Structure 1
Amino acid sequence: MYDFVVVGVGPAGARFARRAAESGYDVLALEKGEVGTPLACSGHVSTDIWEYVPDAAKEKLFQNRIYGANFRIGGPDTAANPFYKNEEISNVIDRVELDRTLAEAARDAGADVREGHTVTDVREHADGVTVTASVGGDEETFEAKMVAGCDGPISKVRREVGLPEPGELLHGVLAFDDEPDHSDFVDVHLTVPRFFAWRIPRGDAGVEYGLAAPPGKEVREMFDVLTGTYDVETSHFCSGAIPIGPPPSVTSRRVFLVGDAAAQTKPFTGGGILYGMTAADHAVREIDPDRPRTLGEYETAWRTDLEREIRLGHWVRRAYSLPQPVQRAGLKAMSGRIGVHMDRPSSLFSAEQLKAFFS
């Protein structure tokens, strides 16, 4: 019997598998396809990402450094409202290679990482959990003391054990233009209902274009409008769900959710790489597979760390739906040098931000 079976080897699952293995636990991690594919989300992350990957991996992952963002009410020909720092705010990385790097780090730590394992059933018992997976047309069964559901916004684990759904699922799309772009500002367009569209320069890797919107909206049509205003042809189109709003509980008797499966994401950007890995670290610190009651300690720990940021993130997101005259006035008043951390909305009230605002 394994101490933990981890379902899903994205950033959250790989991070948990690595840290749990480093702590001496017997860990099996299952990925339904090939690690890193299909592409799940944008590679625009805060510089905190380097705290979570091996030092030697930075050269392979790094694509571009970002110092700010140009916010626009309309398309690329409308007035830009720049928000920036004098030092780099964020980096653009190879998103597929990030997953592979984190999975390899988990293997190096002693976790058994297996690809091509599609989990079809999760059953909790008094003393453990049975996980069934489809492997090349055959069926395999694994026993574990606990299961970590790290299998994304449409989580099979979450549904199998009856945990509640995220508050909302957005439909996100992105694609790429191969023309190199080493500029150091991203572009944000408040042209999408209840969210935004973006353009991210990726250095030699080209440019990423994307947007997200509530389900039912004509997302592909809006994406075509976005790329049309930039007069670009894109390729490698990707589409997926973005969970917003954690459910009231992410733990059951012997199962816990981490990352997108738990909607541990930023409501104002949809990004969840750093929040998911932060929650994974809390899970390793708090959960003892021989003591199911420690699942409650995980719930408390990750919510204490992230819940305020998520709540404030919801308030930031509301600004995307304000009337255009209000948006225009707000952007004009707030633009310029900032002191905000892109993962922490609470930094809007930091001494650094207040100093930047009044300078």
Structure 2
Amino acid sequence: MDADVVIVGAGPAGLMLAGELRLGGARVVVAEKLAHPTGQSRGLGFTTRAMETFDQRGLLPRFGALETSPMGHFGGVQFDYTVLEGAHFGARGVPQSKTEAVLEDWATELGADIRRGWEFRSLTDHGDRVEVTALADGSEQRLTAAYVVGCDGGQSAVRKAAGIGFPGTPATRDMYLADIEGIDLAPRFLGERMPAGMVMAAPLGGGTHRIIVCPHDTAPRERGEAIGFDEVADAWRRITGEDISGATATWVSSFTDATRQATAYRAGRVLLAGDAAHIHLPAGGQGLSFGVQDSANLGWKLAAEVAGWAPAGLLDTYHGERHPAGQRLLANTRVQGMSFLGGEEADPLRELLTELLAYDDVKRHLAGRVSHVDVRYEVGPGDHPLLGRRLPPRTLRTPAGPVTTAELLHPGQGVLLDLTGHPALPEEVAGWKDRVTAVSAVPEPVDGAKAAADPLADTAALLVRPDGYVVWAVWADDGAHDGAGEGTGELTDALRRWFGSPGTYGA
């Protein structure tokens, strides 16, 4: 075969997946129809969980200094996200072009073969392999791989070729965004609602402003229909009464409130990730971030399938975990759209949100939904609060010195984190040493009131997947919990469930 996996699309989801697959040893070709990156940036940052995902692979330093915001919003109602431990409103002011450049450099360094100017045309799933045709340099090219993953956006040609449905709610309006220069604009960070629509404005630096214009009176345009800055300026004037027609637009685009989700994230040897699997209103800047998390979930599982050690059903857990998570994403963006974009008819909703956000429990719930730190997967039996959740960012003390939980995940392998020096644990994981690393460590103490809610308190050990989610946990032997000090038998079950049979692969 030409590759183990062909990825169609070199956006954030496709590039993240390419790097993840290479960490797992898979041979990867990325086919991208654009000959060069556009340099355009629909997204301007990423959520808390996406930031943690990048940190798990050691990528954060490549972005330079990152600024996070404690204050965020839900449907335009502002509140402090840090009421939820470990959450914030994400890294802001990071152009999508920068994110793509960081991920492309990383994937290329790991050995991914990124082929630009390759436009996907068709695929044939033969049952034991997939054949892909693409147009490159004016002629048809063919690639054969074990799997194909569509990361080619909301209009995904891969999804259509695989016959995967994409139901949902159609667009009801057209909205615009533009980067403009040569004019001074007052910031409207959270948006300003007026009778004719809603507008946002934020400085990007260097005299450039990003504006978003959401008029109430624009029907969705035909796909592919070009938009000019004159339309954007006219819509801005109708809403605000201000004339920005004298500005120079460096980039103009449009978007809608369409909400759709693929019926299946996998059909045979074809899989979907990112916008190819789900589209929604860009409320809270969640789209890019959620696609990156799709890829982090899928990458190690697909690499395991290719390498031959994946247990039965592992690859199917990608749909089983990410499809429900996608449903929750689409629900929160639809509610935010009703509040953010609605006219007077949405005033009762905004008033209710304002009332509810006076309660810390509501703040924590909504902060978790938008930051994505509340994602929980079904990973097996147990009563530990971390089961199925992401390993929280912490600093640990090891015999070799301090290490963060994110640093433990840099190699893209599983981690057995022994927090009490249980003598049986390293022996239990020995048969999986090519897939799981055993680490003995002690968490740095947590200060003050946070100590009572520390998820690592009274915990003896954790088994963590390569994507950072805990799949087995055991309490310390302090008499405070049922099953205290036990669990090595369940550990073997968890190792087999998530990391296959013991033995050495890829030698």
Structure 1 length normalisation: TM-score? 0.77
2:115, 2:151 → 1: CA distance? Answer: 14
**Do the aligned partners of 1:180 and 1:204 also contact (CA within 8 Å) in 2?**
no
Of structures 1 and 2, the one with the larger relative CO (CA 8 A, separation 6+) is 1
Which stretch shows the higher mean deviation, 3-12 or 263-272?
263-272
Give the equivalent residue in structure 2 for 1:108.
109
Shift of 1:302: 1.4
Structure 2 counterpart SS, 1:142:
strand
The one-letter amino acid of 2:38's match is T
CA distance change for structure 1 residues 160 and 209 in 2, over 3 Å: closer, same or farther?
same
Residue of structure 2 in register with 1:78 after alignment: none
- Counterpart of 1:224, as a letter, is A
What is the Cα deviation at residue 57 of structure 1? 2.1
Q: Equivalent residue for 1:142?
A: 143
- Residue 46 of structure 2 is matched in structure 1 by 45
1:93–1:239 CA distance, 2 compared to 1 (3 A):
same
SS at match of 2:316: helix
What aligned pairs does 1:49-128 form with structure 2 within 5 A after superposition?
A: 49-53=50-54, 54-59=59-64, 66=69, 68=71, 82-84=78-80, 89-90=89-90, 91-128=92-129
Task: Give the structure 2 partner of residue 174 of structure 1.
Answer: 177
| Aligned match of 2:159 | 158
Question: Is 1:314–2:329 an aligned residue pair?
Answer: no
Give the direction of change, closer, same or farther, for the CA distance of 1:217–1:234 in structure 2 (3 Å limit): farther
In 2, the alpha carbon distance for the partners of 1:180 and 1:56 equals: 34
Q: Quote the residue 1:76 is aligned against.
A: none
**Following TM superposition, by how much is the alpha carbon of 1:187 offset from its aligned partner in structure 2, in angstroms?**
2.7
Matched-pair identity in %: 21
| Aligned CA distance change for structure 1 residues 257 and 317 (closer, same or farther; 3 Å) | same
Query: Residues 102 and 131 of structure 1: is their aligned pair in 2 closer, same or farther, counting only changes over 3 Å?
Result: same
Does the Cα contact within 8 Å between 1:152 and 1:261 map onto a contact in 2? Answer: yes
The Cα of 1:12 is off from its aligned counterpart by 0.5
Say whether 1:302 aligns with 2:322.
yes
Name which of 232, 236, 257 aligns with 1:227.
Answer: 236
Unaligned ranges ≥5, structure 2? 222-226, 375-449, 451-507
State yes or no: 1:286 paired with 2:301: yes
Task: Supply the RMSD in Å over aligned alpha carbons.
Answer: 4.0
Cα distance per residue 1:99-142 (max 9 Å; x no partner):
12211211111111111111111111111111111112111100
1:323 lines up with 2:349 in the alignment: no
SS of 2:327's partner is helix
Residue 343 of structure 1: which of 370, 382, 386 is its match? 370
Tell me the matched-pair count.
338
Separation of aligned partners in 2, 1:275 and 1:203: 26
Q: Write the distance in 2 (CA, Å) between the matches of 1:82 and 1:304.
A: 27
Look up the SS of the partner of 1:25 in the other structure: coil
* More moved, 222-231 vs 20-29: 222-231
Q: Distance in 1 between matches of 2:26 and 2:201?
A: 42
Structure 1 gaps of 5+ residues are: 74-80, 353-359
Greater C-alpha Rg: 2
> Which of 214-223 and 50-59 deviates more?
214-223
Given residue 286 of structure 1, which amino acid in structure 2 is its aligned partner? K
AA of the residue aligned to 1:246? Q
Give the distance between the partners of 2:44 and 2:30, measured in 1 at CA: 23
Secondary structure of the 1:308 match is: helix
The alignment's TM-score, normalised by the length of structure 2, stands at 0.57
Give the AA of the match of 2:233. D
Alignment CA distance shift 1:191-1:37 (3 Å): farther
